[in-house]
Amino acid sequence: MRTTGIVVAIVCLFIVCIPAVTALDQGNSGDGVSNTVSFLIYKVTAKPLSQMNAKDFEEAGDQENHNPIPNYGYQAVYYHAASVHLDREYVATHKAYDSHFYSQQELLLRKRSEALSAQIEKSPADEYSKEEKKKVDNLQKLAQSKYNEAYAAEHSGKQSVTSGHLCLIVTATFGSPLASEVQLVREYRDGTVRQSYTGSQFFTGFNAWYYSFSPAVASYIATHPLVKSVMRVCLVPLLEIVFLSQNLHAVLGFNPEIATVCVLVFAAAFFSLVYIFPPAFLTVWLAGRKGWKVPAPGSMRPVLWVWTLLLFGLAAGILLTFDFLTIITSGLLVACTIILIAGTASLTLARYLADWSCIRQG
């Protein structure tokens, strides 16, 4: 009886797995049926194969790094499947290849290349032929080619509203799109903020501004090692702000729109305190030392009124799904938050130091 049950279970397993194995192996290009079977055993209980997209396959590959004993061969299969499905998704929707497509393909190629490299290093050398190492070299060259195509798409005006996946300045600073710092910024932007309507509209406007100067800045950073070292230090607070913003978004995840607005204001406020407040305060303090009258913090009240109006305007844009209004008000709200925080903090501290100096002299 027990033997019969085992046989039935094995037959059922093959009935479930064989069609799925065949479907996945059509885009597997010789990466191995055994790897594919393991892939299905890993993922089929979490989500039906027919419902998986490129992002799901990529996440499966990333998850392999968290296993006690990562299997880099499986990981390479996951990333290859993600690359194939991304291409199919663009073809199925009749969408032209844009900078998002090229940069994401470049990222998947680099991840696959690193997985294969780790597999070669981990296993005895005689198990892998020169063809395997040659495959890694070809993948790295192809990844660089995709990066160049993405870069060209950004500069030729072919980027879509979902473009901007290159993180040019952060990538140039840390030297690789696979650097953990670059991945943190990418995940914050594409996996957190842009998942909401507000976030996607905000980055539509932000990208138009950011890509007007970032290519030149990134090129300069990449070709000047000293500047690159300085930028690494300067970006540390920004990365901390991004990390804290992600945690805040997770806490407020019950409503993606509210979470996104709070995260944008939170990040703008801390960005202002770290990067704008020091030079603003120094300017106000030096002006006071030169005999100029330092305004009271209350002089920032009109900015607060504008900030409040922008917040209401953003709420209206979100409720009405009015794209143009949401783009404008979200961008201006972030800018107004930076001005409000830096201005209020600078004037408050300058007036406090001025009063304290008067007390000491009196």
- 310 neighbors 336 (Cβ within 8 angstroms): yes
If we measure between CA atoms, which residue out of 27, 24, 186 comes closest to residue 104?
A: 186
Instruction: Kindly state the greatest CA–CA separation across the chain.
Output: 100
Per-residue confidence (pLDDT) for residue 42, from 0 to 100: 46
Asked whether the beta carbons of 211 and 152 are under 8 A apart, the reply is no
Residue with tokens 């479930």: 16
pLDDT single digits (tens) 316-337 = 999 999 999 999 999 999 999 9
Q: How confident is the model at residue 45 (pLDDT cuts 50, 70, 90)?
A: very low
DSSP string across 153-215: HHHTT---TT--TT-HHHHHHHS-TTSHHHHHHHIIIIIIGGGSHHHHHHHHHHHHHHTTTHH
Type of residue at 284: V
Neighbours of 93 (CB within 10 A): 7
Residues 176-204, mean pLDDT to the nearest whole number: 84
Cβ contacts of 66 within 8 Å, gap of 6 or more: none
Q: Which residues contact 210 (CB under 8 A, 6 or more apart)?
A: 164
pLDDT band at 94 (very low <50, low <70, confident <90, very high): confident
CB 340 within 8 A of CB 304: yes
Condensed to tens digits (0 to 9), the pLDDT of residues 201-240 reads 998 899 888 878 888 888 889 889 999 999 999 999 999 9
Q: Could you tell me the pLDDT band of residue 172, with boundaries at 50, 70 and 90? A: confident
